[in-house]
Structure 1
Amino acid sequence: MRTLGIVLCVASAAFFGAMGIFGKLAYEQGVSVGTLLATRFALAAAVFWVVVVASGRLAALRRLPVRDVALALALGAVGYAAQAGAYFASLKRLDASLLSLLLYTFPVMVALAAAALGRERLTRRSVGALALASAGGVLVLGGAPSGALDPLGTALGLAAAVVYSAYILTSAPVSSRLDPLLLSTLVATGAAVTLTLAGIVDGDLSPTTVSAAGYGWLAAIALVSTVGAITLFFAGLARVGPTTASIVSTVEPVTAIALAAAVFGESLAPVQLAGGALVLGAVLVLSARRAAPAPPGAEPAPVERVPVLVLD
């Protein structure tokens, strides 16, 4: 059971890691950022609703407090929509491999913010993780070839990590009360509504210009890197527990870097790879701490994000 759980978590991380590559391939087929975001969440939400009905959870959804339903929808409509928007706008300007490392600074941000909010104690372990992540970030950004680092793309990538961290901390209370499938369904629905309306208002929603191949990549983002990745993670989490699952989740940026190299020929400089190793090391330092009773929201960050992740 444990071996199967690890395999499932690795597959989930790989599916999440492939999202940036699917996004780049969709852009090559004429997909706009607005079309990608609206289609991804609308399709994911539709699949989640089908699963909710098929699994007999619709009655449970109806029994949820109105406040929790509204909060879950707002998390998607505001928090997750903003994070996904920043991520895919950055993907237009940055290599998928570089963006994956920028985004993966969020676990350290969550740990530090949790300490500042009094949810966790600031320990030598968390301070050490911050030092590793900071040094790694400097190497990742500083090691880029001259002119290759788009300032706006970099700012958007870091903004996505910051918004994601805030989203995780905000969602912790409701995620502890709601069934993960129901929460994911509501978050995806809220994000779909916001991003569809935003695409219409700013004129960036243009589904008629997308090729058949483009719709294939959009389907891959929604079904593989959203619905499939979440389903596999929960299946693995039930078998190995949160600590092991969070450590295994560091496969995600490694997968993104490997796929970007294979598909697009992207390559990071040796100093950037060293910086990426430090960033992942910081996540491992945080994830490998001993399991102990903790206040809500104090689980390792990669685990907290997935139940409400309908994107990365």
Structure 2
Amino acid sequence: MPEKTTLTDVPHVRAAPPRRSAPQLGLILCLVSGISFGFAAVFAKESYAAGWSVPSLLTTRFLLAGLLFWIVVAIRRPPMPSPRTIVICIGLGAIGYALQSGFYFGALTRLGAAVVAQLLYIYPALVFLLALACRRETLAARKLLALAATSLGLVLLLHGGGGAGGWALTGVLMALGSAVTYAIYITVASTLPRDLDPFLSAAVICTSAAVSLGAFATSTGRLQFPTHVAAWFWLLLFALVSTVLAMVTFLAGMRLVGPSAAAILSCVEPVVTAGTSALLYSERLSGWQIAGGVAVLGAVVLLQARRRTS
């Protein structure tokens, strides 16, 4: 994501109303974003093999991405938000995004990438449950069906654990923790002002995540920087393709097609993750896991299609 960013691994910002003049461009941009996020698992696994630890990799990733976003902010010169908004963005990065990324990419060291990506995608149902608890949503037949599909998909994914690399309890808990923290992240981020510049918020969030993860890596003695060229090559791909490119194309695409359509199109992410993992690492999903993944992604479409219709 999921670093959904993933959607797996992207900061949530409210979009302007969709412009009908360029829906095809918006569709292409959202698909590019989903594909870029989908390659994050490959870049991370190759980075681990080249000598990066999870905290060091994520720290450097967010540091580089934040630097690039600050350059964009310096060029655009958007209006500064209120101190309260800045504090929320710092919290989203230092706590929300840092935890979500740490859980997700930590799970990749213990589980098959396809399973981790599919487990992350229970987060839309968790966002709905949080909205229901906050009385921002109401129950309806389609929503209940989506929740049932998510629950069934989760059971099937865990039941079929003998597939892509098997499953370990710690890895499952980390993947589920990634989904929970991302749902909380999105719920809090939805309170940000509509006119907040997305590049400014991304810059603050990425920088805060880098500081938080860097402090954790330093305190645990895991802040290390490999010297091989290959290690930095994979890091650059991770930061530029699966962070900056993925986030920019998602933000641009969301403004053209709207947030609901963008969320549905982002379902290409776990598909890309599963496909690349199968091709490069011979990870295979069991029949149960495929059925579970279809159920989870179907629930995402149900939830988002309802919002689009309304």
Q: TM-score, normalised by structure 1?
A: 0.89
- Following superposition, the deviation at residue 288 of structure 1 comes to 0.7
Distance 1:76 1:242 in 2: 21
Report the equivalent of 1:268.
Answer: 285
The one-letter code of the counterpart of 1:37 is L
Matched, 1:38 2:55: no
Q: 2:205 aligns with which of 187, 209, 220?
A: 187
- Following superposition, the deviation at residue 243 of structure 1 comes to 2.6
Matched, 1:138 2:155: yes
Report the equivalent of 2:92.
Answer: 75
Q: Do 2:112 and 2:166's aligned partners in 1 also have CA atoms closer than 8 Å? A: no
Deviations along 1:142-182, one digit per CA (max 9) or x if unpaired, are: 01228921110111110111111111111211153521111
Report the equivalent of 2:269.
Answer: 252
Q: Do 2:261 and 2:308's aligned partners in 1 also have CA atoms closer than 8 Å? A: no
Matched, 1:116 2:133: yes
Matched, 1:17 2:43: no
How well do the aligned residues superpose, as a CA RMSD in angstroms?
1.5
Distance 1:151 1:175 in 2: 39
The one-letter code of the counterpart of 2:52 is V
The one-letter code of the counterpart of 1:219 is L
- Following superposition, the deviation at residue 262 of structure 1 comes to 1.3
Q: Do 1:76 and 1:188's aligned partners in 2 also have CA atoms closer than 8 Å? A: yes
The one-letter code of the counterpart of 1:253 is P
* Partner SS for 1:93: coil
Deviations along 1:33-92, one digit per CA (max 9) or x if unpaired, are: 1111110110110010011112233xx23xx21121122112101111111111111111
Q: Do 1:175 and 1:183's aligned partners in 2 also have CA atoms closer than 8 Å? A: no
Q: 1:203 aligns with which of 189, 203, 221?
A: 221
Distance change >3 Å, CA 88–CA 175, structure 1 → 2:
farther
Q: Do 2:154 and 2:296's aligned partners in 1 also have CA atoms closer than 8 Å? A: yes
Q: 1:169 aligns with which of 187, 194, 200?
A: 187
The one-letter code of the counterpart of 2:183 is S
* Partner SS for 2:306: coil
Distance 2:203 2:105 in 1: 21
Greater per-residue helix proportion = 1
* Partner SS for 2:186: helix
Mapping for residues 142-157 of structure 1, pairs under 5 Å: 142-145=159-162, 148-157=166-175
* Structure 1 portions without partners, runs of 5+: 294-312
The one-letter code of the counterpart of 2:61 is R
Deviates more, 1:144-153 or 1:251-260: 144-153
- Following superposition, the deviation at residue 277 of structure 1 comes to 0.4
Distance change >3 Å, CA 211–CA 242, structure 1 → 2:
same
Report the equivalent of 1:297.
Answer: none
* Partner SS for 1:267: coil
The one-letter code of the counterpart of 1:195 is L
- Following superposition, the deviation at residue 292 of structure 1 comes to 6.6
* Partner SS for 1:288: helix
Deviations along 1:207-263, one digit per CA (max 9) or x if unpaired, are: 1x3421111111112111111011111221222222322211111111111111111
Report the equivalent of 1:229.
Answer: 246
* Partner SS for 1:291: helix
* Partner SS for 2:190: helix
Matched, 1:160 2:172: no
Report the equivalent of 2:12.
Answer: none
Q: In the comparison of the two structures, how many residue pairs are matched? A: 288
Distance change >3 Å, CA 114–CA 210, structure 1 → 2:
farther
Matched, 1:282 2:303: no
The one-letter code of the counterpart of 1:246 is A
The one-letter code of the counterpart of 1:27 is Y
Q: Do 1:29 and 1:210's aligned partners in 2 also have CA atoms closer than 8 Å? A: no
